[in-house]
Structure 1
Amino acid sequence: MKSISHVQQEMLNRMELHRELSAGGAAIKPALQLDEPGQPGVMQSFTDSLHAVDAQQHQAAQAMNAVDSGRSDDLVGAMIDSQKASLSFSALLQVRNKLSSAFDDIMRMPI
């Protein structure tokens, strides 16, 4: 499973490629063929990121429940897991917003 920062970097690289192609007037492949066969696409990368963030949130919830029920006394670890999950979720939302904005920009481009 890829880390959220790795997926974000991949998405930013793809967005930069799209920006360069559109600015240079180069011929752009149709959107359905943009990803090379056998390579994970943007949707797969985003889905992997979503699952990674979900796993972090479940881990944080389990750590907090363990502290609440008295099974663990690692309050600091539980709080760190909680902050990591929160930060990952915020980063995922920012990437989603960037992708949505990029899609809107593409849709507004004249043909």
Structure 2
Amino acid sequence: MSSITQVQQDMLARMGQFAELAGGDAVRPASLPMAEAGGFGESFESALRAVDAEQHRSSQAMEAVDSGRSDDLVGAMVQSQKASVSFSALMQVRNKLASAFDDVMRMPL
């Protein structure tokens, strides 16, 4: 399984957990659901590390083609596009989280 697919499946699983939480009771202890699953910060860190690994694989493949060690130009370009898409998806998630945080901070009490 490619790392982008793994990141996407992890994000979908987290979205499912958040949907479950949104449909439940209004007040729950913050430590219960996320602490057992490893936490949101840990999940985001693993997604960040997966995107970083994808970027490194892409740069290694491009370097191999540039130096003549590999003739797989198409494979290097596909790897580069996978890294680009995974980075773009990560930035979109980060931007959504930042805007959600801003919205929560602007809520009247």
TM-score band by shorter chain is: 0.7 to 0.9
Contact 1:4–1:49 (CA<8 Å) still a contact in 2? yes
Identity across matched positions, percent: 53
- Structure 1 residues 39, 11: CA separation in 2 closer, same or farther (over 3 Å shift)? closer
TM-score by length of 1: 0.80
Relative distance call for 1:94 and 1:6 in structure 2 (3 A) is same
Please give the alpha-carbon distance, in whole angstroms, between the structure 1 residues aligned to 2:35 and 2:28.
14
Q: CA RMSD in A?
A: 2.3
The correspondence for 2:55, drawn from 51, 54, 57, is 57
Q: Deviations over 1:24-72 (max 9, x none)?
A: xx432354x2534432111111100000000000000000000000000
Change (3 A) 1:36 1:46: closer
Task: Give ranges in structure 2 of 5+ residues lacking alignment.
Answer: none
Q: Which secondary structure does the structure 1 equivalent of 2:33 belong to?
A: coil
Question: Does residue 2 of structure 2 align to residue 4 of structure 1?
Answer: no
Q: Match of 2:71?
A: 73
Give the length in aligned residue pairs: 106
* Contact persistence 1:7–1:46 (CA under 8 A): no
Q: Say whether 1:29 aligns with 2:28.
A: yes
Consecutive unaligned residues of structure 1, counting only runs of 5 or more, are none
The separation in 1 between residues aligned to 2:103 and 2:19, in whole angstroms, is 13
